Structure 1
Amino acid sequence: MVKVATGEQMREIDKYTIETLGIPGIVLMENAALSVVNQIISRGNFKSAVVFAGSGNNGGDGFAIARHLFNKGYDIKVFVLNNMSSIKGDAKINLDILFKMGVYVMEVSQKENLKFAEKSVKECDVIIDAIFGTGFKGEVRGITKDVIDIINGAKKYVVSVDIPSGVEADTGKVYGTCVKADLTITFQLPKIGLVVHPGLDMVGELIVSDIGIPQQAINTQDIKIVLNDQETASKCFLKREENTHKGTYGKALIIAGSRGMTGAAVMAATSCLRTGAGLVYLAVPDDVLNSVEGMALEVVKIGYSRFEDLYEHIANCDAIAIGPGMGQSEAAGSIISKVIEASHRPMVLDADALNFLSRNQDLLKFIKAPFIVTPHPGEMARLINATVEQVQSDRINVALEFAQRYKSITVLKGSRTIIASDKGVVINTTGNPGMATAGSGDVLTGIITGLLALGCEPLLAATGGVFLHGMAGDIAKEKNGEYGMIAGDIIKYIPEAIKKLQEK
């Protein structure tokens, strides 16, 4: 998995590379500039560029980029958004070279200077944003805000250097004005703000460019956030041996459903089977058993009216899911409580199980088995007594703190689903807005439960399950588009997604 750094971690990596390993900063700057130039050249027949540069190393990257493009025959104009006398170090070296080469450089520190900058933007082919780097925090103000408004209004191809100016590298937060790029080239490692919303929405296409920082330098930082990937998910699906049977591939018990909500139960059970579990038992209340008998023919159905009806199945299964469509009655709460207290098998707690736990949080401290919670933002808000807005504004830390407090694996659903555990955080990279549809979460519960039944360790089941779920949704999008996608479409394409993972 690819590591995802904070701004501070990246600065420490740079520092170690320069001061301990002895690779000069200007060499890294040159490598960074060349990587941007090569990406620009590969993307179109551009002949002119405007570079907006700040006074730090991000601006220094911009100066070096301008030099290389000038050497390749581009018409180049550079606008510096700070007092040029404040520019120091490697950035100053690259700025001085531009002056000696005769490249057009103009300081834009007053509104009167904006007119020519705006005219130049209208006439250029590509805009290069090298204003703020990973150290930026807060809100863009003053002349820089005016410049960014010009960039965003120009309808030109925009390239951001390392990070779009206005995005906070550590959080992805954007306060007001921010460059909306078509392409962002970040250096050595992606930054958190580039891979979570709302910063992600400003990035466009993301390229992670190796600028020659040794792995030894990266290893000096204890980076615990990574991107989910196909290679990791593929570990869930080993080649099946010839001499095996359904018992080889695990028994899953899914306790779900209630009057009017049998669909949630059936979707969870079906997706569990589609993921590869050998036997899936679906336990529903007695009064809806007849309703599900004709659905999901391959699933074994169990009716229950009391906990004792489930005990034998709990003892004999390999994995349990509980919650989808159970409702919030007193009877449902009693079953949820007793199953959670009794089980020694890995569990997935979803939907109404989470709603029950939000009112009975002490129960979380007494769970004996490894467990995975799969809340959407509303359910997570109830679990931690917060608002949805508070959850969404700090998704990584919310999920991580919950996972650490209750020793759970926490899957905070949504665009760029977060999987948190005591080992750190995984940010998912699959899925699309078409999956924002009723039942999609039930499908995910079934997938993760199926992987647990197959014998995957809980963290792998969660990360692999989330990736597979999004991948199946992406295949559904390719086939039919986002509008009109239903949860059943995701189930339909689980086998094709698994096949792709195995090919990898």
Structure 2
Amino acid sequence: MRIDGRLAKMVIRPRPRVSHKGSFGKVLLIGGSYPYNGAIILSALASVHAGAGLVTVATEKDNISALHSQLPEAMAFDVYDFSLLKQQIELADVLLIGPGLGESVLAGKILDLVLTGVQVHQSLIIDGSALNLLAQENSVHWQTQRLVLTPHQKEWERLSGLPISEQNEDNTQEALRCFPDQTVLVAKSHASKIYQGHQIGYLDVGGPYQATGGMGDTLAGMIAAFVAQFPTDFFASVAAATYLHSAIADELAQEAYVVLPSAISKAIPKWMKKLSEAPEMDEVFL
């Protein structure tokens, strides 16, 4: 199936008048270890701008001031306070782990806390270095069906065992059988695809102007916000966020040689407004 503005418009609906911040999901973002501190800040910027109702960030204590200087709307706490981390895992609707997490022993322990603490009703997004840590796990007892994996080709090679040259559609679908049935795979490349079971979504947006650090962190944050707000169709919510991420970049690239991830985040609310209100798709930039 083609993933485009029509799908995004189906997902992004006007907000009901009778609602509050809890109506739009509680998102917990986990990552940002030295020297990758900025990654989780970019994810948080994307989640807040994409409309998540409550965003909490678990990161290194020294990173919290930098986060709040750019995003006072987010809450934050020390990721190494494991007692508090366990509490926050229980409270979240959506968990995102990985942006800037690193691959230390402590990072592995944090991933284990998430994998054992996630509940059946929660959505779990695994990104960045958490994908590499996951590849090192002997086995995982998945406690939620609502799993999103967001690897680039090398990360998918480590996780699936498929060399990049063998990452075709049939092999990728077969490798996904090792994960919960509802798992959504965002296979990032110059021609990204989105998989869920036998369903494959194709994108024709995006370009080389997105090849810069932090782009994947921003996408992961957007996916977290969309899954939190629009939980009914899991695949469609992930696909709409992925489409919007690159569609915004396409527009910004008309006047920019390189598109910064933070610039994408700033543009998200305007795009969501247009998509939620336009009666016909020719009124929406595509």
The TM-score, its normalising length taken from structure 1, stands at 0.52
**Which residue, 321, 324, 334 being the options, matches 2:109?**
334
Q: Which residue of 1 aligns with 2:250?
A: 474
After the TM superposition, which residues 410-421 of structure 1 pair with which residues of structure 2 at under 5 Å, given as runs?
A: 410-421=185-196
Which secondary structure does the structure 2 equivalent of 1:243 belong to? coil
After the TM superposition, which residues 28-427 of structure 1 pair with which residues of structure 2 at under 5 Å, given as runs?
A: 226-344=1-119, 345-363=122-140, 365-391=141-167, 394=168, 396-407=169-180, 408-427=183-202
Which secondary structure does the structure 2 equivalent of 1:362 belong to? coil
Alignment deviations for residues 128-181 of structure 1 (CA, whole Å, 9 cap, x no partner): xxxxxxxxxxxxxxxxxxxxxxxxxxxxxxxxxxxxxxxxxxxxxxxxxxxxxx
Give 1:497 shift: 2.5
Alignment deviations for residues 184-221 of structure 1 (CA, whole Å, 9 cap, x no partner): xxxxxxxxxxxxxxxxxxxxxxxxxxxxxxxxxxxxxx
Matched to 1:437, the amino acid is: T
Which secondary structure does the structure 1 equivalent of 2:70 belong to? coil
Alignment deviations for residues 353-379 of structure 1 (CA, whole Å, 9 cap, x no partner): 10101111512x434341000000110
Tell me, yes or no, if the aligned pair for 1:472 and 1:490 is still in contact at 8 Å. yes
Cα separation, partners in 2 of 1:362 and 1:271, compared to 1, 3 Å: same
Q: Distance in 2 between matches of 1:361 and 1:410?
A: 20
Highest Rg: 1 or 2? 1
Cα separation, partners in 2 of 1:361 and 1:477, compared to 1, 3 Å: farther
Residue 492 (1) aligns with residue 266 (2): yes
Question: Which structure has more RCO (C-alpha within 8 Å, separation ≥ 6)?
Answer: 2
Q: Distance in 2 between matches of 1:427 and 1:361?
A: 32
Matched to 1:422, the amino acid is: G
Give 1:318 shift: 1.2
Q: Distance in 1 between matches of 2:145 and 2:64?
A: 28
Q: Which residue of 2 aligns with 1:448?
A: 223
Q: Distance in 2 between matches of 1:438 and 1:453?
A: 25
Structure 1 gap ranges (5+): 1-225
Q: Distance in 2 between matches of 1:275 and 1:371?
A: 20
Which secondary structure does the structure 1 equivalent of 2:253 belong to? helix
Q: Distance in 2 between matches of 1:403 and 1:234?
A: 28
Q: Which residue of 2 aligns with 1:189?
A: none
After the TM superposition, which residues 20-31 of structure 1 pair with which residues of structure 2 at under 5 Å, given as runs?
A: none
Q: Which residue of 2 aligns with 1:464?
A: 240
Give 1:324 shift: 0.5
Q: Distance in 2 between matches of 1:361 and 1:397?
A: 24
Alignment deviations for residues 279-321 of structure 1 (CA, whole Å, 9 cap, x no partner): 1111112343344332312111111314322122111111110
Cα separation, partners in 2 of 1:250 and 1:418, compared to 1, 3 Å: same
What root-mean-square deviation, in Å, do the aligned CA atoms of Structure 1 and Structure 2 show? 1.7
Give 1:451 shift: 0.8
Q: Distance in 1 between matches of 2:138 and 2:155?
A: 13
Matched to 2:177, the amino acid is: Q
Q: Distance in 1 between matches of 2:267 and 2:230?
A: 22
Q: Distance in 2 between matches of 1:496 and 1:293?
A: 23
Tell me, yes or no, if the aligned pair for 1:347 and 1:372 is still in contact at 8 Å. yes
The TM-score, its normalising length taken from structure 2, stands at 0.89
Q: Which residue of 2 aligns with 1:186?
A: none
Alignment deviations for residues 415-462 of structure 1 (CA, whole Å, 9 cap, x no partner): 231111124111122212211111110111001100111132321221
Q: Which residue of 1 aligns with 2:284?
A: none
Identity of aligned pairs, percent?
A: 27
Q: Distance in 1 between matches of 2:222 and 2:190?
A: 18
- Aligned residues between the structures: 273
Matched to 1:335, the amino acid is: I
Cα separation, partners in 2 of 1:268 and 1:398, compared to 1, 3 Å: farther
Q: Distance in 2 between matches of 1:341 and 1:368?
A: 10
Q: Distance in 2 between matches of 1:253 and 1:445?
A: 12
Matched to 1:498, the amino acid is: M
Which secondary structure does the structure 1 equivalent of 2:209 belong to? helix
Q: Which residue of 2 aligns with 1:56?
A: none
Structure 2 gap ranges (5+): 282-286
Tell me, yes or no, if the aligned pair for 1:306 and 1:335 is still in contact at 8 Å. no
Tell me, yes or no, if the aligned pair for 2:135 and 2:159 is still in contact at 8 Å. yes
Matched to 1:289, the amino acid is: I
Q: Distance in 2 between matches of 1:300 and 1:240?
A: 23
